[in-house]
């Protein structure tokens, strides 16, 4: 081919129990492309590098601007968001595969509902009395807002869980995202009424104690959440809570 092309390899799997196979694609290069636009290109012309017809790749995406958290996958060995993975910044052939710690639905789409379940377990919400007009909220100084805001930026992409050596079936670890949300809600003037419940939920197996301080999460998080700080703060609070509960018992 005369024009510049992109070499892309995609790990495909037709269904949760099907065998996975790698498929090679060669696509026309255009400036400003990213991995999701390359996958769209395949959908519009589902032919592999050898010219054989294939099917469009199944993957999750929505916002295409790294804010909805849908498109996490492993690209050239690194867990990251596909919509912000610029083709020009990737070594070729670009190898794309699904996250490895979550059940594959099909191709690059995986089931990450475990995170939403974890958020339920730690009551990641502010228990307001109701939606009727009760006047203004509690005063919050800018310093506190500046501390909460970064934690509130978590897009539930689960990359911190994917890259964590402790996140596996053996430990049942909840993962960094849930712990960060615990810190967020425990710091909120109203949210903190559930502080003890949240800490207890993280006190047993699969809780904060599973963290091995590998620090992979904080490096991989696309939203730069201060995850190690959150984990150590919450770990400390869990210990204090355990001590209190022990004395009370």
For ligand FES, the binding residues (CB under 6 A) are: 61-64, 66-71, 81, 83
For residues 190 and 192, what is the distance between their CA atoms, to the nearest angstrom? 5
Dihedral of CA 184/165/157/66: which sign?
A: positive
Nearest to 147 by CA among 65, 229, 79: 229
Per CB under 6 A, which of residues 187..216 are in contact with ligand SF4?
none
Residue 46 token pair: 């589902």
Q: Tell me if 114 contacts another protein by CB under 8 A.
A: no
Which listed residue (94, 119, 154, 238) binds ligand SF4 by CB under 6 A? Answer: 154
For residues 192 and 125, what is the distance between their CA atoms, to the nearest angstrom? 10
Q: Tell me if 75 contacts ligand SF4 by CB under 6 A.
A: no
**CB of residue 122 to another protein, shortest distance in Å:** 11
Cβ nearer to ligand SF4, comparing 206 with 222: 222
Question: ∠ at Cα 67 (169, 39), nearest 5°?
Answer: 80
**CB of residue 153 to ligand FES, shortest distance in Å:** 12
The DSSP secondary structure of 25-38, one letter per residue, reads EEEE--TT-BHHHH
- Asked if 79 and 159 touch (Cβ cutoff 8 Å), the reply is yes
Indicate which of ligand FES, ligand SF4, another protein, none lies near residue 236 (CB less than 5 to 8 Å, by partner kind).
Answer: none
For residues 108 and 43, what is the distance between their CA atoms, to the nearest angstrom? 14
Cβ nearer to another protein, comparing 90 with 119: 119
Indicate which of ligand SF4, ligand FES, another protein, none lies near residue 102 (CB less than 5 to 8 Å, by partner kind).
Answer: none
Which listed residue (58, 148, 156, 209) binds ligand SF4 by CB under 6 A? Answer: 156
The position carrying tokens 């228990």 is 127
Nearest to 9 by CA among 95, 73, 90, 81: 95
Piece of 8-16, 39-47, 195-203, 217-225 that binds ligand SF4 (CB under 6 A) = 217-225
Cβ nearer to ligand SF4, comparing 8 with 115: 115
Q: Tell me if 68 contacts another protein by CB under 8 A.
A: yes
Contact residues for ligand SF4 (CB under 6 A)? 154-160, 176-177, 180, 221-223, 225, 227
């Amino acid at each position: 081919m005369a024009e510049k092309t992109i070499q892309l390899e995609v790990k495909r799997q037709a269904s949760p129990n099907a065998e996975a196979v790698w498929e090679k694609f060669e696509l026309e290069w255009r400036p400003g492309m990213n991995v999701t636009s390359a996958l769209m290109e395949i959908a519009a012309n589902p032919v592999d590098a050898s010219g054989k017809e294939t099917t469009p790749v199944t993957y999750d995406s929505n916002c295409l601007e790294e804010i909805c958290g849908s498109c996490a996958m492993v690209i050239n060995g690194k867990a990251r968001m596909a919509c912000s993975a610029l083709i020009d910044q990737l070594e070729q052939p670009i190898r794309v595969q699904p996250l490895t710690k979550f059940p594959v639905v099909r191709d690059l789409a995986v089931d990450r509902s475990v995170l939403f379940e974890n958020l339920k377990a730690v009551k990641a919400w502010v228990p307001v009395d109701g939606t009727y007009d009760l006047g203004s909220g509690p005063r919050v100084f800018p310093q506190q807002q500046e501390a909460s805001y970064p934690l509130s930026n978590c897009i539930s992409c689960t990359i911190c869980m994917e890259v964590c050596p402790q996140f596996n079936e053996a430990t049942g670890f909840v993962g960094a995202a849930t712990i960060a949300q615990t810190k967020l809600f425990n710091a909120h003037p109203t949210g903190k009424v559930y502080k003890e419940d949240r800490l207890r939920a993280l006190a047993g197996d699969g809780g904060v104690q599973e963290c091995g301080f590998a620090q992979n999460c904080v490096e991989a998080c696309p939203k730069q959440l201060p995850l190690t700080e959150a984990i150590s703060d919450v770990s400390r609070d869990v210990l204090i809570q355990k001590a209190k509960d022990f004395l009370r018992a």
